[in-house]
Structure 1
Amino acid sequence: MEKPEQSRKGKHCWRRIWRKFFIWMLLVTFLLIVTVLSLSGYAISKYKQDYYGSCLRSCDIMAEEFTEYSRQNPREDLLRDYIPKNMDKIAQQTDAFLYLFNQDGDCIYASENSGISADELKLSTEMRSGLQKDGEYMTDSNVGKIDHSAAEPMLTRGRTFYLVRNGEEVPYYMFASSYTRQLNVYVTHMMLLVVILFFVMLLLSGLLTFYGSWNSNRRLEQLETAMRRYVQGDYSQSIDTDSFVGTELEQVASLAEQIGSQSDRAEESSRQFVSNVSHELRTPMTIISGFVEGILDGTVPKPKRMEYLSIVSQEVQRLKMLVTSMLNLTKFDAGTIQMNYRMFTLNDTAFRTILMFENRLEKRNIAVEGLDSPPVRVCADPDLIGQVVYNLVENAVKFVNDGGTITFTFADEENDWVFAVRNTGKGISKEELPKIFERFYKSDASRSQDKTGLGLGLDITKKIIHLHHAQISVRSEENAYTEFEVRLPHMEPPEQENE
């Protein structure tokens, strides 16, 4: 069964890696295409402009030179000798074809290297209107060719210039055409380089993305394995949160580690709780069972029966308080506990509670003070407040020193009814004082003195106090005393109580 499970997990793992890899590669490919096309487009456009300028700049230079020379020599007929010679010379040097047109679009002269007669050439209407509007013209399209018999693409540049004829400046058009072989070769090489660069970057991005996906999935697998152990109740191996630092799973790993740590503590507390409850229930049940059997079979003499029955009664009360505490704790956690407010005398509750510990107090020679204080009547849930009193008295009895004193305080102040229990003894350290109301918490001193306590009494006490919107506080001085004080706010009794 283990191998198919591992195989299934392995397939699921690889599917997750490939799915993540595919999504990332789509995004990376899109970004690479946009980036590479933008850069290559800009490079080609820039080179094209520079190529146009370098190849066809001769047209502009000659046009300006002819205009200037004509103004300096107005009587000379430049069209007969000067202009043709210069056009042929420049055409040979620049490997371009030069053409001269009049304002009607008729070709006056074509450079010798063009291999075509001037009579065969005529400017198109589009080219003439462009020159007349802007004074210049440039294109690499087929419609802009001077010689339409040329099969290859050509760059064409036109420029207006002026010659002095009969005392007036007459416009003429100088055109230069050049093959785009070099430009095409450059564009081809550039596109080839772009394609190679694209695939290289795509390969590197793929490798990095795959490694990132694999590494991320490996961390996720570690996290899943740890969580699976936690689900099965195995908290022996914690999550190495350092290996997740700087990743997208850092926060999840930290929370998972906290959950595991808290669950481990809760599991340990639960085991301790079950152990303590078992021991706490076994002790009074053993006492009750032994005394009752002794009474029934006649082993216990008649004069001692009332004494033993009194002990049995005390142990029954102890069992009742223990079961009530556990039931109330469940109700507190579920939020289903019902409050039953009534008027009762707090002194009587304390007196009945202290009687349950009479034998223990006598054996250790403990003095009890304050029970004869003026009675204080309070409005609260008598059962719940009775449990608070029991828990505080039980604590005082456990930790009072032999021959020490337990002191009760009852007071009716302006806004609160006050009840306090103080015992002499070792006290509680300042470090442990804030923790004593936590569930299952037992201080170092209490562990040695209280072997059977569950660590629930003060937690339940605090919950009951909060239900009454009251306050509880603790004061202690090491090797001197510990005092718990409860303040119940004044409130009106229910109507039936008033009646």
Structure 2
Amino acid sequence: MKISIKLGLWFFICIFIIEASSMFFLHRNVVHSLVNEELNALKLRGNSHRDVIEISYDKATLHHIKIMESQTDTEVVITNDVGKVITSSKTVDKEMEKILNTKHEESKNGLIIQSDWQDERYISTVSSFQAPNGEIGFVYMFKSTDQIQHVISRLNEHFILASVLIIFLMLFTIFLLSKALTKPLILMKEATRKISKGDFSVSLPKTSNDEIGELSTSIQILANDLNYLKKERNEFLGSISHELRTPLTYIKGYADIAKRNNISEKDRLHYIHIIYEESNHVSNLLTELFDLAKMDQHTFSISKEKVNICLFMQSILRKMEPAFESKGVKLEFICQKETFAHIDPIRFEQVFLNLLDNALKYSDTNTLTAIEITKKENIIDINVRDQGHGIPAEDLPYIFDRLYRVDKSRSRLTGGYGLGLSIVKEIIDAHGGTISVESQLNKGTCFKITLKGLYDENRFADR
């Protein structure tokens, strides 16, 4: 069953119960008020005749009362204190006689002695009087219940008509309401169906600021993210194919040449050396890809320990100094003493080797690359600054993306695989730190790393 039908049925049942209860309560109170008004009017009429009799009790008065009631829809019977009929506006029938024989108390204000309008023929009241000559009697008033039932029957017809009209309007309103409520849900259902089939080009309008609108926005964000991931995956696979195809082509081509019999041993060794370099190229690429895969699957191991950052960096700089000296790039290191952090030294060596390697590749001779480590309170700031070529402003937001390289030519001499900075960011994130970059063309680049430091072993909270 469709949700619009379900929703409509639930609305109909709930509103129908409320409307039926309200109509029943209203009908009951209207009928009750109507009967009470008739009884009170009948009692007041009897009291009026009693007042006249108490002023002037004679045959003319009684005859006048009899004639007056015979012209109305009510009947009057006047009896003495022992129940003998003195006068009446119509012949007393069995139902009236039954009421006359009913025992009741004397009341100057009148009494209702028959109020059952559904099962009896008459409703009736009685008012006692005392004539000027001291004679005591009773004025009985009667009204046929046929008239009351006729009025109530007409009232029922109006209630039924009103109920039918209310149900019709209710169904029409529920139809429009269910359509209005379910339309965005149907659109979202179609959108999720497209998403499940791999089509992420969906567009959902934000219809309102309620939960349905938030759900629509969430699905739209999900579709956009999946579409972005799909494009990223395709680009990633294309880039990996490109990165692997080139060295594999070299390996295959030079292997074919090296196995020929008509080449010299010197050339053969040269080709074998090229094959070896390209094999290392593929091996390094696969290593970085495996590292990224482990990070995505949260299986990338981090073994933290307390490390003196200054001493740690000095050991890394000793490894990099020969490469910087051979290119004529000065390497400078500034660090506060006794700066400790809880890090994985193997992973962080990978971070700094990558950053320094990038600084060396894109720096010219007679430039400076500086590493500065400062500590303020419990925060360690590490800046790796060079005076190299710089990064264009339009490329800065994407340099930590996988396989993204500023050098679009993909030169294997000037660029890596576009994975190094992605791994750097993943490692720093895994340590609870942050990394950012500032750069200006032809002025240089600065990578800023922020970590939590250590006051002592007991105050550090390992993430």
- Please state how far the C-alpha of 1:287 moved relative to its aligned partner: 5.2
Partner of 1:383: 346
**Is the Cα contact below 8 Å between 2:126 and 2:141 reproduced in 1?**
yes
Q: 2:232 aligns with which of 256, 269, 279?
A: 269
* 2:203 counterpart residue number: 239
User: What corresponds to 2:151 in structure 1?
Assistant: 186
Tell me the distance in 1 between the aligned counterparts of 2:87 and 2:363.
Answer: 128
Tell whether the 8 Å contact from 1:409 to 1:418 is kept in structure 2 after alignment: no
Are 1:161 and 2:116 matched, yes or no?
no
TM-score where L is the length of structure 2: 0.76
Aligned residue type for 1:99: V
Matched to 1:113, the amino acid is K
- Tell me what 2:313 maps to: 346
CA distance in 1, matches of 2:368, 2:131: 129
Correspondence list, 1:401-416, <5 A: 405=367, 407-409=369-371, 411=373
Checking the alignment, whether the CA contact within 8 Å between 2:46 and 2:141 is kept in structure 1 is: yes
| Superposed displacement of residue 401, structure 1 | 6.0
Structure 2 segments unaligned to the other structure (5+ residues)? 458-463
Match of 1:197 in 2: 162
CA deviation vs aligned residue, 1:40-86 (integer Å, no higher than 9, x gap): 3333333333444445532122223333x26xxxxxxx2x4244123
Give distance in 2, aligned partners of 1:375 and 1:56: 108
Q: Which residue of 1 aligns with 2:460?
A: none
Report how far residue 259 of structure 1 moved: 0.9
Other structure's SS at 1:113 match: coil
2:92 counterpart of 1:92: no
Cα distance change, pair 261–175 in 1 and its aligned pair in 2 (3 A): same
Within-5 A mapping of 1:14-163: 18-54=5-41, 57-67=44-54, 69=55, 78=57, 80-104=58-82, 106-115=83-92, 123-126=100-103, 128-129=104-105, 131-132=106-107, 135-141=110-116, 153-163=121-131
SS at structure 2 position matched to 1:165: coil
Q: Is the 8 A contact 2:329 2:364 kept in 1?
A: no
Matched, 1:474 2:449: no
Confirm or deny: 8 A CA contact 2:373 2:382 kept in the other structure.
yes
Q: Which amino acid aligns with 1:349?
A: I
Does 380-389 or 337-346 show the bigger shift? 337-346
State the Cα deviation string for residues 229-256 of structure 1 (Å, max 9, x = none).
21121123x13325x4488743332221
Residue 73 of structure 1 is matched in structure 2 by none
Contact 1:417 1:490 in 2 (8 A): no
2:285 and 2:417 in contact (8 A); partners too: no
Show the counterpart of 1:496: none
Residue 420 (structure 1) aligned to one of 368, 383, 390: 383
C-alpha distance in structure 2 between counterparts of 1:404 and 1:316, whole Å:
34
Matches of 2:350 and 2:112, distance apart in 1: 105
- Normalising by structure 1, what TM-score? 0.71
CA 1:17–1:289: 2 relative to 1, 3 Å: same
Q: What is the Cα deviation at residue 313 of structure 1?
A: 7.1
Quickly say closer, same or farther: Cα 1:121–1:389, change in 2 above 3 A: closer
Give the counterpart letter for 1:187 in structure 2: I
Q: What is the distance in 2 between the residues matched to 1:33 and 1:374?
A: 83
Alpha-carbon distance in 2 for matches of 1:374, 1:186: 103
Partners in 2 of 1:455 and 1:172 — Cα distance? 118
Partner-residue secondary structure (3-state), 1:164: coil
Distance 1:223 1:411, change over 3 A: closer
Q: Could you tell me whether the CA contact under 8 Å between 1:418 and 1:487 is conserved in 2?
A: yes
Displacement of 1:156 after TM fit? 1.1
Please name the residue that 1:3 is paired with. Answer: none
Between 1:262-271 and 1:389-398, the stretch displaced more is 389-398
Number of aligned residue pairs: 444
2: CA distance, partners of 1:490 / 1:339: 18
Q: 1:391-402 residue pairs with structure 2 within 5 A?
A: 391-397=354-360, 400=362
8 Å Cα contact 1:58/1:90 also seen in 2: no
The code of the aligned residue for 1:266 comes to: L
Query: Deviation per CA, 1:401-422, whole angstroms, max 9, x where unpaired?
Result: 6557350325586867765322
Unmatched segments (≥5 aa) in structure 1: 1-11, 71-77, 144-150, 494-499
Where 1:337 maps in the other structure, the secondary structure is coil
- Using the alignment, how far apart are the partners of 1:186 and 1:410 within structure 2? 100
The Cα of 1:481 is off from its aligned counterpart by 2.3
1:64-112 deviations in Å (ceiling 9; x for gaps)? 3333x26xxxxxxx2x4244123213312433211224445x1342324
AA in 2 matched with 1:393? L
CA contact (8 A) 1:100 1:175 kept: yes
Q: Does 1:325 align with 2:288?
A: yes
